[in-house]
Amino acid sequence: MLGDLIGEEQGQRTGIRVVSVDGGHPHVEVSFEATGTLLGVAVRDIGTYDSVMEADGTLFGDGQGCNMTEDGDIITWHGTGVGRPTESGGFSYRGSIFFESASAKFSRLNGTAGVFEYDEDKDGKSTAKVWEWK
């Protein structure tokens, strides 16, 4: 069951490279930066994800990164999801995400599973939302 919205952000792709094309399946690495909120606190998120495109256009992605607050709190994350290219030239992913933090302010996220929506347009601008998965 989905719980509360625990985070949302807007960002921009900062890098992209082809890692391999073995077996005719492109394996692409993408890096991004974003700003938003996590548990209502302003954060800056930086992350990288790897995606492999299957013959039918389905993307399987795996990523990691960290959120940082102005007070110096750090929240790391690891996510995995499935995506597809959009008609407008971008990509749309849906998946699960897990957080970890030594900060008391964000300790509630330790051991919490989240589900996310991540959408990127053809110009690399992204939006994401994360809900707690109860």
Three-state DSSP string of the chain: CEEEEEEEEEEEEEEEEEEECHHHCCEEEEEEEEEEEECCEEEEEEEEEEEEECCCCCEEEEEEEEEECCCCCEEEEEEEEEEEECCCCCEEEEEEEEEEECCHHHHHHECCEEEEEEEECCCCEEEEEEEEEC
pLDDT in tens, the chain (134 residues): 889 999 999 999 999 999 999 888 999 999 999 999 999 999 999 999 999 999 899 999 999 999 999 999 999 999 999 999 999 999 999 999 999 999 999 999 999 999 999 999 999 999 999 999 98
* pLDDT value, residue 134: 87
Q: pTM for the full model?
A: 0.93
At residue 22, the pLDDT reads 87
